[in-house]
Structure 1
Amino acid sequence: MTDKRITLAITGASGAPYALRLLEMLVAAEYQVYVLISSAAKVVFTAEEDMKIPARPDAAAAFFTQHFNAREGQITVCGKEEWFSPVASGSAAPKQMVVCPCSTGTLSAIACGASDNLIERAADVVMKERGQLILVPREMPLSSLHLENMLRLSQMGVTIMPAAPGFYHQPKTIADLVDFVVARILDHLGLDQQLMARWGYQAHSIQSKE
């Protein structure tokens, strides 16, 4: 599944830095990215990144294009009810989709097939077409309902990747913690990444030099 097209949905859970770094890496990897961003996510972006995302999809696309120095047309932002966008149909949607961060509300809606907005519909399309769907929830603690929804989705082939960075790489900054999570997402997407060495590789390299 490497047709160089992907859908990135951003919802209202805390974790705007994860979304920004992931989008940056996808652009650098020359992916065509369809960005779906909820109203709540825009509020979170303002609170966590002091970044105001334009309301109009075309203006938001221009904003992200400039911010990441993307090529013209590489980033497409779709409105929440833009039902004629490619991501809304199995005949045109990318086969890979990441929801990062993923609110537990969005997770619940995807689990029950609500499809009340374009994010939920796009996720439903990827699932029915047997594509790759990755959800990055950021919530704590998790209720039984949250866990049941995650289990249900996992049993349907969805990858659940909580935004839970590790510490064995001895992070020094918040950016290091963000890169840990984004690197794991990129690994699962099948993209080469240099953000973080995989477990054992660094130790093997050191031993080889001795």
Structure 2
Amino acid sequence: MGARRLVIGISGASGAAYGIAALALARQAGVETHLVVSRSALLTLNQELGLRGADLEGRADVIHPVADIGASIASGSFRTVGMLVAPCSVRTMSEIATGVTSTLMSRAADVVLKERRRLVLMLRETPLHLGHLETMTRLTQMGAIIMPPVPAFYARPRDLDEVVAHSTARALDLFDIDTGAVRRWSGLKDALAGEMP
């Protein structure tokens, strides 16, 4: 396959920064990225980060239009290490769970599942009702990994960028992509050890 390839999807949920961080971290790790962005995500990217579609040029190795169901990533014969959807909206999650592949985003995810590759969904929704939970259970049974971007406070992030980078790097860990951006847990500090009962 040559260089490892990762499909990155950015859906319209809040948290567009996770997708942008995933592109940057994967590139630093030498991973070839294939990006697909939903129409709703273009609105979120602009609202949250002030980015437009043209600003995505150069951030990924290949950008696939969301309507292009004939793209390379729509076929299982196009080998990848899997797909990360960051952030993942409930709508995108639901389409993937039901196999309703109405866009390249859900089709690419469906391909990853059918080929038994890794699919990681950074779901951005709270609180969750029973339908959400049942959909997440169904996807887990199908082989996907549901990974809401939960901050790691033990890493003592200094700002929002560090929170985003840590969560995104942990998601990339699931593809065995080490970005060097994770502050790894090494146990409680020695100073605290003597205070434990």
Q: Whole-Å Cα distance in 1 between the matches of residues 36 and 79 of structure 2? A: 13
**1:90·1:129 contact (CA, 8 Å) conserved in 2?**
yes
Q: Whole-Å Cα distance in 2 between the matches of residues 133 and 194 of structure 1? A: 21
The answer to whether the aligner puts 1:169 opposite 2:162 as a matched pair is no
Q: Whole-Å Cα distance in 1 between the matches of residues 10 and 149 of structure 2? A: 13
Runs of 4+ in 1 over 2 A off after TM superposition: 201-204
Query: Superposition pairs for residues 42-61 of structure 1, below 5 Å?
Result: 42-54=42-54
* Structure 2 counterpart of 1:71: none
* Structure 2 counterpart of 1:106: 92
The answer to whether the aligner puts 1:8 opposite 2:8 as a matched pair is yes
Root mean square deviation, CA, Å? 2.1
Unmatched segments (≥5 aa) in structure 1: 55-59, 69-73
Deviation at 1:43, TM superposition (A): 0.3
Deviation at 1:2, TM superposition (A): 8.7
SS in 1 for 2:109: helix
Q: Whole-Å Cα distance in 2 between the matches of residues 186 and 41 of structure 1? A: 20
**CA-to-partner distance for each residue in 1:29-50, whole Å, 9 max, x for gaps?**
2222110000100100101001
Deviation at 1:96, TM superposition (A): 0.9
**2:29·2:179 contact (CA, 8 Å) conserved in 1?**
no
**2:25·2:169 contact (CA, 8 Å) conserved in 1?**
no
Deviation at 1:83, TM superposition (A): 2.1
Query: Superposition pairs for residues 5-154 of structure 1, below 5 Å?
Result: 5-54=5-54, 63-65=56-58, 68=59, 75-154=61-140
Question: Once structures 1 and 2 are overlaid, which stretch shifts more, 21-30 or 39-48?
Answer: 21-30
**CA-to-partner distance for each residue in 1:70-98, whole Å, 9 max, x for gaps?**
xxxx6111112212211111111424100
Aligned residues: 191
**1:90·1:125 contact (CA, 8 Å) conserved in 2?**
yes
**2:81·2:175 contact (CA, 8 Å) conserved in 1?**
no
**1:8·1:33 contact (CA, 8 Å) conserved in 2?**
yes
Deviation at 1:19, TM superposition (A): 0.9
SS in 1 for 2:139: helix
Q: Whole-Å Cα distance in 2 between the matches of residues 195 and 32 of structure 1? A: 18
Amino acid at match of 1:64: E
SS in 1 for 2:154: coil
Q: Whole-Å Cα distance in 2 between the matches of residues 40 and 108 of structure 1? A: 15
**2:3·2:32 contact (CA, 8 Å) conserved in 1?**
no
* Structure 2 counterpart of 1:57: none
Q: Whole-Å Cα distance in 2 between the matches of residues 92 and 180 of structure 1? A: 29
Unmatched segments (≥5 aa) in structure 2: none
